[in-house]
Structure 1
Amino acid sequence: MPSLIRRASAQVFVDASTVDLTGEELVAEFEWDMTATGLVQADPGGDGARVVCGQEIGDVGVTAELWDAAPPLAADDWQDVAEVSVAWRSAFMDFATTDGGENPAAQLELPGPDDYRLRVHGRNRDDGDPRDDDAPVEEYLIQVWPAPQAGPVTAKSTSRTAATWRAR
């Protein structure tokens, strides 16, 4: 049975509709194409990935979890769920780089450089941009575990946001 090793959570400021997942370089510089999943894409050069959001600018909730193996898929409470592989070169994953500051709560410590699988869950992606004060917070869960490289997989896709990004 897979075990959760650690978890990190933070409110993340989104700019340009993305949450960048970065390593030591703290930059995810690659041409991105969300047509495969409408949710997440790995940097082909490794040490990065990008999650595309429903809002262009604002705060989203992000939780990242490190697992020892693939956790059970639990998609019921999420609009969109997709997986990608990444060849990570760092000992951590930072998920709050777009605000320009350091946020230790927004870093997930990894066992070290390795091939990892990322399963990204998103909800409240269609609730407006800009958000009304009473709108639900857009949220993401990123589950990470060591795994050999494999192609992208979309496990669930029900948001208009994902459909829009896949159609581009």
Structure 2
Amino acid sequence: MPPSQLKACLGLTGLVAEEPLGPGVQLVTGVAAGPVTITLDSLPAAPARPETGWEDIAEFSVEVRDGPLQLLGHFDDPEASAPRLDEQGAGTYRIRVYGRGRDTAYDATLSEPTEEYLVISWLAPAAAPQTIAAGSTTSAGWIESTRHHLERGTTWKVETGGPAEAGLAAREQRSRAESSLRAAAAKDTAPRPPTETPPN
């Protein structure tokens, strides 16, 4: 894949990737299943500088035509009362995601949160995804895995015999993706690295 396409891939941020089950972007967590702490904030303008004290920080752009742009669980429907990241109305938003604690319980199933995220948004011209910080092993591993699959030309693919099996396979392959940012129209998407399968 050309360097320009590698640079524009969401998976190379280490924090977000394409939602494999539909339009949108998913937050890549360290835990396999369980709660995480997430704070949302919609700003009137870009912050002066990234906040300190976070291991991983990434940005990407998303176009919202009629919203809502909300942070949801994989099988949740948009709720009128849920916080929105598109409070300024239709337009192109810059989304910055902060993460910490992603290595604490990597790949574990938990009942109490051990990792924390801050997701902020503001109206801004579209720009390529950007990794501002990648201090966790989880982030570094995700970036390396994404780069490896993109350079090999691997694509996200689920092969099954029917709808029930397809749904199960898709749920299994979205490991460590607890939440999705869904918009009515999200232009910025990229392939999510598939699970490695050892050769027969």
TM value normalised by structure 1:
0.67
Q: Stretches of 4+ moved more than 4 A in 1?
A: 101-106
Match for 2:90 among 113, 118, 135? 113
Structure with a larger share of its residues in strand: 1
1:48 paired residue number:
24
8 A contact 1:114–1:146 mirrored in 2 = yes
Return the structure number with greater relative CO, CA threshold 8 A, min gap 6: 2
Match for 1:140 among 114, 117, 122? 117
Q: Tell me, in whole angstroms, the C-alpha distance in 2 between the residues paired with 1:130 and 1:96.
A: 21
Offset at residue 107 of structure 1 (A): 2.8
SS of residue matched to 1:90: coil
CA RMSD of aligned residues (A): 2.5
Match for 1:38 among 3, 9, 14? 14
**Structure 2, gaps ≥5 residues long:** 1-8, 146-200
Offset at residue 42 of structure 1 (A): 6.3
1:130 paired residue number:
108
Offset at residue 99 of structure 1 (A): 4.9
Say whether residues 1:70 and 2:32 are aligned partners. Answer: no
Offset at residue 92 of structure 1 (A): 2.5
Offset at residue 141 of structure 1 (A): 0.7
8 A contact 1:42–1:86 mirrored in 2 = no
Say whether residues 1:87 and 2:90 are aligned partners. Answer: no
Deviation string for 1:41-91 (max 9, x for gaps)? 467xxx732211111111011111111111132342111001101111234
Offset at residue 161 of structure 1 (A): 0.5
Say whether residues 1:163 and 2:128 are aligned partners. Answer: no
Offset at residue 155 of structure 1 (A): 1.1
Offset at residue 101 of structure 1 (A): 6.1
Q: Tell me, in whole angstroms, the C-alpha distance in 2 between the residues paired with 1:146 and 1:42.
A: 21
Q: Tell me, in whole angstroms, the C-alpha distance in 1 between the residues paired with 2:29 and 2:50.
A: 20
Which residue identity does 1:68 align to in structure 2?
P
8 A contact 1:84–1:119 mirrored in 2 = yes
8 A contact 2:33–2:109 mirrored in 1 = no
8 A contact 2:93–2:124 mirrored in 1 = yes
Q: Tell me, in whole angstroms, the C-alpha distance in 2 between the residues paired with 1:55 and 1:105.
A: 27
**Structure 1, gaps ≥5 residues long:** 1-32
Which residue identity does 2:140 align to in structure 1?
A
Structure with a larger share of its residues in helix: 2
TM value normalised by structure 2:
0.57
